[in-house]
Structure 1
Amino acid sequence: MTFDMTFEAIAHIESCYPERFGIPRQAGLVPSAPADIVFAATEFNKLAVRGLEQCSHLWVVFIFHDQPFKTAKPLVQPPRLGGRKTMGVYATRSPNRPNPIGLSVVELVGITTVKRTLRLRVRGGDFLDGTPVLDIKPYIPYADAIATATTWAAAAETRLPVRWSDSAIATLYHSYADESAQAAIQCLIAETIAQDPRPAHERGKDGNPGQEWNLQVQEFSVFWTVAQQQAIITRLVKKIKVKELGRSRQNPLG
């Protein structure tokens, strides 16, 4: 039986990750990652979010909107398995799916109205900037948290220790006058690098001498190396003007 259905996005996401590389592989791996779920400030939407302020966490149903895949594959190679073993796509959370729909749990920080937008401030997501949102639902602990659940991916993610070069720290501190802003962006970058976003076949290994990786977090291009099983953030380059995400310019993560 086949059904043809058309959905319209109810909102979009403004995220701290403007590029795919570096986005956490799962929600919750970078707890400090900020994002806004942005609605038009219509009367319908204002009524539709009533009661959400009583919820600490939300399910976000979204579209993997900017992926390189042209056709879905029945077998994929999960990064958690080193990118070398195959599994059926329905046994994984790969974005390369027949219907490119994602599902993530995030922490709800607040609800605000900014100009003509209604914004749900969230943390801990795994969203690309501009992600279309199909639906949001409250996370209900007694129904959604299953202590006896099992899966092939049950082992916790390993984390790289992260060290900062003096140059990288200096760039960071010169970018924000506010100490809380400095601490917030430093935490965000460190958590992002600690999840080791390198390709699966390179994870768990030291890099070659002089080898650097680069990803974008907020307005910074972040360069790092991996040596002696730790990540060293070597330098930051300010690339683009930070998106306000409904925050003050002094503290874009606050």
Structure 2
Amino acid sequence: MTAHSYSLNPIGHIATPFQQKFAIPRQSALTRARGCITLSEAVADPRVFKGIEDYSHLWLLFIFHETLSRGWKPAVKAPRLGGNDTMGVFASRSTHRPNGIGMSVVKNEGWHQQDDQLQLLVSGVDLLDGTPIIDIKPYLAYADAVADAEDKLDSYAPLPERSVRFHDEASLTADTLSQQHPDFRALLCRVLQQDPRPAYRQKLATDPKVYKVVLYHNDISWRVTDGTVEVLSIDPLSE
């Protein structure tokens, strides 16, 4: 068989609340974070969205653009198994793939044209801000939802579901930010409930280390005490 190579050009880029890879939910369905895909000029024809309103959910295919330079690995560390055990790259959702392509299911929130830009709004995103999108496809429930599908990993390495508590000043700041970003508090809670610490530290019910996560250009400091995630402070990122 003759080997061929193919090139791909992004059809657009997505804006999301996630400015860093750390703490991005591991799967899109685990968050209601909203995103806005701005199509590139080459495909920004309103006809590309004709009929898309008939689908409640969509597949996004995208590029793991921040890890491409690191190449791929045949076996990758599995965070849910403690970070030291490995799995085959094709048995994982690792970013270190031969072609660096990812996929996520998102909710279709409609499209609009703003000036000369064609934009698609989605929710339930787990993508880094600025991620290149290479394709959009409808999610077909009859074909894509497999009733008897199995995920054995979930039976012995389920995702954490921790309580989240805000310190007083952090709570006030969260309320203020919610005026600009109505989903801010709920999104932050959903991200932290999943305990984004490395898996080997998730075993610690009390962890003195202070961690940070960035949402909507805000730096959030937090730690885990007696199994509860405490939001210590929320500060805007310096320009």
Query: So what's the TM-score if we normalise by structure 1?
Result: 0.86
SS of structure 1 residue aligned to 2:234: strand
Q: Is the 8 A contact 1:216 1:222 kept in 2?
A: yes
Paired residues for 1:1-254 under 5 Å: 1=1, 2-30=3-31, 32-40=32-40, 45-67=45-67, 70-155=70-155, 156-175=158-177, 178=179, 181=180, 183-209=182-208, 211-239=209-237
The aligned residue for residue 251 of structure 1 is: none
The aligned residue for residue 246 of structure 1 is: none
Letter in 2 for 1:74: P
Q: Is the 8 A contact 2:44 2:118 kept in 1?
A: no
Q: Is the 8 A contact 1:214 1:222 kept in 2?
A: yes
Counterpart Cα distance in 2 of 1:55 and 1:185: 26
The CA deviation at 1:38 is 1.1
Letter in 2 for 1:134: I
Q: Gapped runs of 5+ residues in structure 2?
A: none
How far does the alpha carbon of each residue in 1:87-120 deviate from its partner, in whole angstroms, 9 at most, with x for none?
Answer: 1100000001111000110011121222321111
Letter in 2 for 1:33: A
SS of structure 1 residue aligned to 2:70: coil
Counterpart Cα distance in 1 of 2:134 and 2:153: 26
Counterpart Cα distance in 2 of 1:52 and 1:76: 36
SS of structure 2 residue aligned to 1:212: strand
- Cα RMSD between the aligned structures? 1.9
Counterpart Cα distance in 2 of 1:40 and 1:85: 40
SS of structure 2 residue aligned to 1:200: coil
Counterpart Cα distance in 1 of 2:116 and 2:238: 24
- Structure 1 segments, 4+ long, off by >6 Å, are none
Letter in 2 for 1:170: L
SS of structure 1 residue aligned to 2:200: helix
The aligned residue for residue 252 of structure 1 is: none
The CA deviation at 1:229 is 0.8
- The farther-off stretch of 36-45 and 153-162 is 36-45
Letter in 2 for 1:229: G
Q: Is the 8 A contact 1:40 1:116 kept in 2?
A: no
With over 3 angstroms needed to count, the CA separation of the structure-2 counterparts of 1:218 and 1:27, relative to structure 1, is: same
How far does the alpha carbon of each residue in 1:56-88 deviate from its partner, in whole angstroms, 9 at most, with x for none?
Answer: 100001000012752211111111111121111
The CA deviation at 1:127 is 0.4
> 1 or 2, which has the higher strand percentage?
2
Counterpart Cα distance in 1 of 2:211 and 2:104: 27
With over 3 angstroms needed to count, the CA separation of the structure-2 counterparts of 1:43 and 1:86, relative to structure 1, is: closer
Q: Is the 8 A contact 1:157 1:195 kept in 2?
A: yes
How far does the alpha carbon of each residue in 1:182-203 deviate from its partner, in whole angstroms, 9 at most, with x for none?
Answer: 6521101111111111122212
- The farther-off stretch of 120-129 and 35-44 is 35-44
SS of structure 2 residue aligned to 1:153: helix
Counterpart Cα distance in 2 of 1:40 and 1:72: 28
With over 3 angstroms needed to count, the CA separation of the structure-2 counterparts of 1:97 and 1:171, relative to structure 1, is: same
